[in-house]
Structure 1
């Protein structure tokens, strides 16, 4: 199997590379910067996700794509639209042109960041309520995935990832954390589940404070094994006024002229 990982030099890509390395699998690693520390079974391609022709070439002979590429935090609209939105279009179109049958799209909790914390679980297919331009780009990526499934038959799994870091760094992440090992398990489930069609699933570990659904992820065969609660004593539990929303501090007003909230 040949798996293309876009944004492979980024934070999540770096965490996932060793976790997705399995016998008989080739990881084709794409980023705008060269990846020098290649391991057995890896190959590096330097290209932009907004270069449709280059991306189509890179997709040749690929069995599945894990799309992590793009800006991973809030930026001005022109930057988000140029990289994340155009990049998502190019990714799905390149997959179609090259005949890649499956795309696993790294969406985000910020696609529904203004979903209120109301005592119920946030559903897998929660209505889009983005908290940022970044969140808007993930909503549009999910919409493109739906279109390319319905129109062209691509299997598309959108993973609304919570907070994928080695360990939680604040109180919010005690609910939203997706451990690197669980992230690897989730991606493997998305790659292996038969005939997925178009799906949206939360990417979150088995956290004691979790309030996001795991129904769709479990339906694909994912079973999280980690719990952020083991780090509870290491992070401050000081309340934040935006904790009432799923997106937390990302829901705060942002001054784009200053580049800071």
Structure 2
């Protein structure tokens, strides 16, 4: 039986890296984005916004799970964050509920706890300390996921993603890096774990310098294989904020209006 996974924000940076890594002979990836996409084998394309309930509900029909990546990927004025990230996440969860989809994997962010001191061990479910409106939107998305689990029985796994890039760009990211391959492994674990309920897990690789718990992620079946340390000689130095806070330079971002 073919599994169908809806991926929102599929044209984005993480979506583009995940598409080939999530491809399976017995799986169809249904890709949703406002940007045009050319489907590869085993893919379907839906063009539309996650803010449009009817579009997202139609895209959810027949899906086994949703991987929700869509939204502004950095700081933006509050109306944009509200529309794309907060209302968009509500719309995805509500559309999934209406369509009978029972599992959503939500791309949260380390910026949900950006003002946490960088030198402290960051446990699973670390209390929110957002560093930006963007970070606030990720905290809100996690809260919505908790509500949809408790009220509607939906399995919602929130991934507090670190720095998901092909290579770690800075000294800070030697702790926060999530390789594209490990990102796919984490999403696969989140999709396949039996009855995960509501989870908030750190999305990082097996980095030597990491100070983030991977206990909950491993409980889902995630086994990271990559370590940013192999790139340590290539990265740019960390700034003062990188050494002070989990969110690094995001903690200096001025309020966007």
User: What's the TM-score bracket when you normalise by the shorter of the two chains?
Assistant: over 0.9
Work out the CA distance in 1 between the residues paired with 2:60 and 2:118: 40
Give the secondary-structure state (helix, strand or coil) at the position aligned to 1:234. coil
2:68 match:
67
1:214-233 correspondence runs (5 A): 214-233=214-233
Show CA shifts across 1:66-95 (max 9, x none). 000000010011110011011011000000
TM-score where L is the length of structure 2: 0.97
1:28 match:
30
1:203 match:
203
1:174 match:
174
Show CA shifts across 1:135-191 (max 9, x none). 000000000000000000100000000010000111111110000000000000000
Ranges of 4+ aligned residues in structure 1 off by more than 3 Å = none
Equivalent pairs counted in the alignment come to 255
Give the secondary-structure state (helix, strand or coil) at the position aligned to 1:144. helix
Work out the CA distance in 2 between the residues paired with 1:183 and 1:243: 24
Work out the CA distance in 1 between the residues paired with 2:43 and 2:253: 42
Identify which range, 202-211 or 228-237, moves more after superposition.
228-237
Q: Is the 8 A contact 1:242 1:251 kept in 2?
A: no
2:85 match:
84
Once the two structures are TM-superposed, the CA of residue 237 in structure 1 deviates from its matched residue by: 2.4
1:56 match:
57
1:39 match:
40
Q: Is the 8 A contact 2:8 2:50 kept in 1?
A: yes
Once the two structures are TM-superposed, the CA of residue 242 in structure 1 deviates from its matched residue by: 4.3
Work out the CA distance in 2 between the residues paired with 1:40 and 1:183: 21
1:1-261 correspondence runs (5 A): 1-36=3-38, 38-118=39-119, 120-256=120-256
Give the secondary-structure state (helix, strand or coil) at the position aligned to 2:157. strand
Q: Is the 8 A contact 2:75 2:256 kept in 1?
A: no
Once the two structures are TM-superposed, the CA of residue 255 in structure 1 deviates from its matched residue by: 4.9
| Structure 1 segments unaligned to the other structure (5+ residues) | none
Q: Is the 8 A contact 2:160 2:203 kept in 1?
A: yes
Q: Is the 8 A contact 2:21 2:184 kept in 1?
A: yes
Once the two structures are TM-superposed, the CA of residue 23 in structure 1 deviates from its matched residue by: 1.4
Q: Is the 8 A contact 1:242 1:252 kept in 2?
A: no
Give the secondary-structure state (helix, strand or coil) at the position aligned to 2:75. coil
Work out the CA distance in 2 between the residues paired with 1:185 and 1:26: 17
Q: Is the 8 A contact 2:132 2:255 kept in 1?
A: no
Work out the CA distance in 2 between the residues paired with 1:238 and 1:248: 9
Q: Is the 8 A contact 1:243 1:249 kept in 2?
A: no
TM-score where L is the length of structure 1: 0.95
Work out the CA distance in 1 between the residues paired with 2:187 and 2:253: 33
Give the secondary-structure state (helix, strand or coil) at the position aligned to 2:94. helix
